[in-house]
């Protein structure tokens, strides 16, 4: 299994993943406090710069790396046509960087896409200089009241939202063992409002990476079945539900052997 490149998502990624401005500011403040004064902060899976560009604007010395050249091209477009910091096409499991050459590694919504995530972690630790920090946001979806039913119906069609890498802090903690000390950064929470109709549109348009394992026809069959279920149980496709989304960053500080 290979890592999931976001080449196909470059054109729509920002429109579907952007955080509200105030939330983005809060996250950026949190990360900038960890990264300020560090000489070289690598973001693996930097994508379109959703996290890295505002950090750069706050004076953080960013270096971006991504598998998908189109995502990096979008980053450059987002920055006005010129890369504001160095960007590299590369694989987080084989970093083209010298040992102990970075003061921080940031991994935001990327480890779930990397089947060989232990190698990405080993590489992050290898490139970190003494005193460096690894910052991870595993990401993950926010369940809506209808999500259980959707998963059940999709599973009946052998469609699941399984990701190839890890989304589990305990799994990462277990892998790191005593090699690094874990610390949670303050959580950033905010309300998110969705409808079943928008969720189904996203599934059919294959906005999220887990859907890329399936054909458009498979996703349409699943969504049609879900619409039938909604009609049967009297669930209004357009009735909004508001959920609380929490962004949880974890800091890992390598411990000298
Ligand atoms: C969900 S996006 C996150 C982008 C950015 N970190 C953010 O939070 O907006 C994941 C990115 O990781 C990249 N990616 C996936 N596997 C990778 C790997 N093994 N090495 C480097 N980048 C990878 C994808 O191409 C994609 O741009």
In a domain, 121, yes or no: yes
* pLDDT of 2: 87
In a domain, 64, yes or no: yes
* pLDDT of 212: 96
Does ligand 1 have an atom closer than 6 angstroms to the CB of 28?
no
* pLDDT tens by residue, the chain, 257 residues: 788 889 899 999 998 988 999 999 999 999 999 999 999 999 999 999 999 999 999 999 999 999 999 999 999 999 999 999 999 999 999 999 999 999 999 999 999 999 999 999 999 999 999 999 999 999 988 999 999 999 999 999 999 998 999 999 999 999 999 999 999 999 999 999 999 999 999 999 999 999 999 999 999 999 999 999 999 999 999 999 999 999 999 999 999 87
* pLDDT of 257: 74
Strand partners, 41: 62, 104
Does ligand 1 have an atom closer than 6 angstroms to the CB of 49?
no
Alpha helical stretches, state H, the chain: 13-17, 21-35, 52-57, 69-78, 117-127, 147-156, 169-176, 196-204, 216-233
pTM for this entry: 0.96
In a domain, 155, yes or no: no
Per the structure, how many domains does the chain have?
Answer: 1
Look at ligand 1, atom 27, and give the residue with the nearest C-alpha.
47
CATH, residue 67: 3.40.50.150
Q: How far apart are CA 52 and CA 46, in angstroms?
A: 7
Could you list the residue range(s) of the whole structural domain that residue 250 is in? 7-142+163-191+246-254
Considering only CA atoms, which of 18, 9, 14 is closest in space to residue 70?
A: 9
* pLDDT of 210: 94
In a domain, 226, yes or no: no
Look at ligand 1, atom 1, and give the residue with the nearest C-alpha.
109
In a domain, 152, yes or no: no
């Amino acid at each position: 299994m290979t890592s999931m490149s976001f080449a196909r998502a470059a054109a729509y990624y920002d429109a579907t993943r952007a955080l509200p401005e105030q939330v983005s500011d809060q996250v950026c403040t949190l990360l900038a406090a960890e990264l300020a004064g560090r000489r070289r902060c690598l973001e693996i899976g930097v994508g379109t710069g959703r996290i890295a560009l505002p950090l750069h604007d706050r004076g953080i010395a960013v270096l971006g790396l991504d598998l998908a050249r189109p995502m990096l091209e979008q980053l450059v477009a987002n920055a006005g046509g010129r890369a504001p910091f160095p960007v590299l096409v590369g694989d987080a499991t084989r970093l083209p960087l010298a040992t102990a050459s970075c003061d921080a590694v940031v991994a935001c919504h990327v480890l779930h896409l990397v089947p060989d995530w232990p190698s990405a972690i080993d590489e992050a630790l290898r490139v970190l200089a003494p005193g460096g920090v690894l910052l991870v946001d595993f990401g993950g979806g926010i369940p809506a009241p209808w999500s259980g039913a959707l998963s059940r119906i999709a599973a009946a069609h052998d469609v699941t939202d399984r990701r190839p890498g890890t989304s589990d802090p305990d799994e990462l903690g277990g892998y790191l063992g005593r090699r690094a000390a874990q610390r949670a950064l303050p959580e950033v929470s905010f309300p998110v409002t969705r409808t079943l109709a928008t969720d189904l549109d996203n599934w059919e348009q294959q906005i999220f990476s887990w859907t890329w394992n399936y054909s458009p026809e498979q996703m349409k069959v699943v969504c049609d079945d879900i619409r039938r279920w909604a009609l049967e149980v009297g669930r209004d496709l357009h009735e909004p539900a508001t959920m609380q989304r929490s962004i949880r960053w974890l800091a890992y500080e390598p411990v000298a052997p």
